[in-house]
């Protein structure tokens, strides 16, 4: 059966668009965050992102969003994905409270 080349190219373009859109979704993670180190700077330690990355972190319950820089690795215990500085945690949750909360983040810029 003969398939016109324009039909093939259109299918390849759709496949490429689908792959690009799924790659964007791969950069968003959800989990729990805690505060771990005392600092007023908006920084975090991230389990899955390289040092130097910039993350847009959101509290899914309130919609409050902050931007932080990854400056270390971890956490490695429990189901946490971020260890925020106390300044970041207070800005996101309004205080230190229980010390752990739900979080969602998107990578703005990936570090090396």
Q: What is the pLDDT of residues 25-55, one digit of tens each?
A: 447 889 989 888 788 899 999 999 999 999 9
**pTM as predicted:** 0.73
- Domain containing residue 98: 27-109
pLDDT tens digits for 65-79?
A: 999 999 999 998 888
Q: Residue 8: inside a domain, yes or no?
A: no
pLDDT at 19 over 50: no
Task: Please report whether residue 1 resides in a domain.
Answer: no
Count of domains for the chain = 1
Residue 21 falls inside a structural domain = no
3-state class of 6 per DSSP? helix
- The C-alpha atoms of residue 54 and residue 3 are separated, in whole angstroms, by 46
Contacts of 57 (CB under 8 A, 6+ apart): 33, 44, 65, 66, 67, 68, 82, 84, 88, 92, 103, 104, 105
């Amino acid at each position: 059966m003969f398939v016109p080349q324009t039909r093939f190219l259109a299918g390849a373009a759709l496949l490429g668009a689908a792959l690009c859109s799924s790659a964007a979704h791969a950069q968003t993670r959800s989990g729990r965050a805690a505060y771990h180190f005392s600092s007023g700077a908006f920084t975090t330690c991230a389990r899955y992102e390289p040092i130097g990355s910039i993350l847009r972190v959101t509290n899914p319950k309130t919609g409050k969003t902050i931007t932080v820089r990854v400056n270390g690795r971890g956490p490695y215990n429990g189901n946490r994905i971020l260890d925020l500085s106390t300044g970041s945690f207070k800005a996101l949750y309004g205080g230190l409270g229980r010390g752990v909360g739900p979080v969602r983040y998107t990578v703005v810029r990936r570090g090396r």
